[in-house]
């Protein structure tokens, strides 16, 4: 089975498209640098130690996907500034979650700067999953609900747990049918 057919098996899930746009390390490192205020090609290259051709390719892809904008600099039309778009800024929580995951599970102790709240200087809390009412959730607390099912639908197959047996189903008792997981 080719890669595209494997991705098609996720039928409507946004994850394959997101990975297509961001799914390799240089893209996330460029995103991190942009988050840190780097805007010029030469500065990305010097900070990241990335080859010019790879940087050019990744910046082009990030611009094409609407994650960065490419803007001429008013004071020097030969220079181009790459800035996070609203869509790119939407990836910041993903980047932070990946960093926190890496800090937790890496063989090396965390080093370097700590991301803090600008207002009070306190380190930010870990990125977590939360229910609509604010309750913390683990992956065992999650299920898939078909976006197309009628609101309040119940019965066999109305919910599919994310973990455990792929064949397991749970009856719904008066759910809204809205996918609040951000996944799928």
Ordered by start, the domain boundaries in the chain are 13-125, 128-184
* pLDDT of the residue at 176: 38
* pLDDT of the residue at 173: 38
Render pLDDT for 12-44 as a digit per residue (tens, 0 to 9).
Answer: 676 777 777 776 889 999 999 999 999 999 999
Q: Which residues neighbour 80 within 8 Å (Cβ) at sequence distance 6 or greater? A: 40, 41, 70, 71, 72, 73
- In the block, which residue shows the tokens 């609900």? 145
Q: Are 95 and 129 in contact (CB under 8 A)?
A: no
* pLDDT of the residue at 10: 58
* pLDDT of the residue at 2: 54
* pLDDT of the residue at 42: 96
Q: Are 76 and 42 in contact (CB under 8 A)?
A: no
**pLDDT higher than threshold 80 for residue 75:** yes
Distance CA 180, CA 184 (A): 10
What are the residue ranges of helices labelled H in 49-160? 52-64, 86-89, 92-105
**pLDDT higher than threshold 60 for residue 177:** no
Burial of 94 (0-12, 13-18, 19+ CB in 10 A): middle
* pLDDT of the residue at 160: 61
- Mean per-residue pLDDT for 58-73? 95
**pLDDT higher than threshold 90 for residue 89:** yes
Q: What is the DSSP letter of 80?
A: E
Mean predicted lDDT score pLDDT of the chain: 80
Residue 120 — pLDDT band, cuts 50, 70, 90?
very high
* pLDDT of the residue at 151: 65
Measured from the Cβ of residue 118, the count of other Cβ atoms closer than 10 Å reads: 5
CATH, domain range 13-125: 1.10.10.10
Residue 117 — pLDDT band, cuts 50, 70, 90?
very high
**pLDDT higher than threshold 70 for residue 168:** no
Q: pTM for this structure?
A: 0.71
């Amino acid at each position: 089975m080719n890669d595209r057919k494997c991705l098609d098996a996720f039928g409507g899930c946004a994850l394959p498209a997101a990975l297509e746009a961001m799914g390799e390390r240089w893209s996330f490192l460029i995103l991190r640098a942009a988050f840190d205020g780097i805007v010029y090609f030469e500065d990305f290259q010097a900070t990241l130690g990335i080859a010019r051709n790879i940087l050019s390719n990744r910046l082009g892809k990030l611009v094409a996907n609407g994650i960065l904008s490419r803007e001429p600099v008013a004071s020097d039309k030969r220079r181009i500034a790459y800035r996070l778009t609203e869509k790119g800024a939407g990836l910041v929580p993903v980047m932070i979650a990946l960093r926190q995951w890496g800090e937790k599970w890496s063989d090396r102790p965390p080093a370097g700067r700590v991301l803090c709240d600008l207002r009070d200087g306190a380190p930010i809390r870990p990125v977590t999953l939360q229910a609509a009412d604010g309750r913390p959730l683990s992956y065992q607390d999650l299920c898939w609900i078909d976006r197309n099912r009628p609101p309040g639908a119940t019965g066999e197959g109305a919910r599919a747990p994310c973990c455990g047996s792929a064949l397991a189903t749970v009856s719904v008792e008066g759910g809204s049918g809205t996918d609040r997981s951000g996944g799928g």
